[in-house]
């Protein structure tokens, strides 16, 4: 960095450079505002609200999908039980018809046992089907409630999206205004000075140019000692004031 600065300083009128530090400070303020705008845009409260609303909607849609799958499964089981009961009815009719034709007591007893077994199976199926019908009714009611929630939450997401878009438009408008202001300010500053500024600015996270409030540097916010202040005041017209703590250019 020192080498780059040395190259830029060569054959340059440093008295003019000192005079130009004030508009360079204005340029720094604009760049700081642009950085703050980027951070603000990335952390908009409207964005957080939208993310939360989308998460809520996604959770409800997932619950809705699970309920639909449960209902489909219950209906499939009901259909299977009804088919099984039809088979039971057929078997009962068959065994009952055979029972009318048999003579041997043992055969009649065996057929009667088969009929009772099938009737018990049908009764068990009926009990299962009743429970599944109750489950289906509960799921249908739950799905209706979920549909209403999804509709309301979708509207909330749409509103939050529109609100975020409006906030982003404001940010874009602010950025456009700052970009135009920066272009005008930068256009009045010598290009070599801007290069010096850019070199220093890209190497740091704090402002590259700041003013001095009392004894405090407004870049690092540290107080300069009496000795350091005295040294700055003794700088010649061809010397740039720099903070001894953070190395930024100081507008005295």
Tens digits of per-residue pLDDT, 214-247?
Answer: 899 999 999 999 999 888 888 876 677 889 999 9
pLDDT above 90 covers a percentage of the chain that reads 71
Using CA atoms, how far residue 112 sits from 28, 88, 116, 206, 244, in Å, is 100, 14, 6, 96, 108
Residue that is written with structure tokens 């054959």 in the block: 11
Residue 131 has pLDDT above 90, yes or no: yes
Residue 103 has pLDDT above 90, yes or no: no
Instruction: Give ranges for CATH 1.10.287.1490 in the chain.
Output: 45-173
Per-residue confidence (pLDDT) for residue 15, from 0 to 100: 46
Residue that is written with structure tokens 């509207």 in the block: 155
Residue 34, phi then psi, degrees to nearest 5 = -65, -40
What is the reported pTM? Answer: 0.70
Residues 58-80 pLDDT 10s = 999 999 999 999 999 999 999 99
- Residue 212's SS3 state is strand
| Other C-beta atoms lying within 10 Å of the C-beta of residue 224 | 20
Per-residue confidence (pLDDT) for residue 5, from 0 to 100: 43
Q: What is the mean pLDDT of the chain?
A: 90
CATH architecture of the domain 45-173 equals Orthogonal Bundle (1.10)
Residues 141-188 pLDDT 10s = 999 999 999 999 999 999 999 999 999 999 999 999 999 999 999 999
């Amino acid at each position: 960095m020192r080498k780059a600065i040395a190259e830029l300083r060569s054959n340059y009128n440093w008295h003019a450079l000192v005079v130009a530090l004030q508009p360079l400070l204005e340029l720094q303020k604009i760049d700081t505002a642009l950085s703050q705008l980027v951070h603000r845009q990335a952390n908009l409260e409207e964005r957080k609200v939208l993310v939360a609303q989308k998460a809520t909607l996604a959770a409800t849609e997932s619950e809705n999908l699970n309920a639909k799958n449960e209902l489909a499964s219950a209906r499939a089981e009901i259909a299977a039980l009804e088919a099984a009961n039809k088979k039971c009815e057929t078997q009962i009719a068959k065994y009952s018809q055979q029972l009318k034709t048999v003579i041997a007591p043992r055969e009649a007893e065996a057929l009667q046992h088969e009929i009772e077994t099938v009737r018990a199976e049908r009764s068990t199926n009926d009990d299962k089907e009743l429970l599944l019908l109750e489950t289906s009714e509960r799921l249908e009611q739950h799905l209706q409630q979920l549909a209403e929630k999804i509709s309301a939450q979708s509207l909330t997401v749409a509103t939050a999206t529109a609100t975020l878009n409006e906030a982003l438009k404001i940010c874009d408008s602010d950025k456009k205004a700052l970009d135009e202001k920066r272009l005008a300010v930068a256009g009045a500053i010598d290009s070599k000075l801007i290069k010096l500024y850019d070199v220093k600015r890209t190497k740091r996270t704090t402002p590259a140019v700041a003013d001095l409030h009392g004894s405090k540097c407004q870049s690092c916010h540290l107080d300069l000692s009496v000795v350091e202040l005295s040294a700055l005041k003794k700088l010649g017209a061809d010397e740039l004031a720099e903070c001894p703590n953070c190395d930024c250019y100081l507008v005295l």
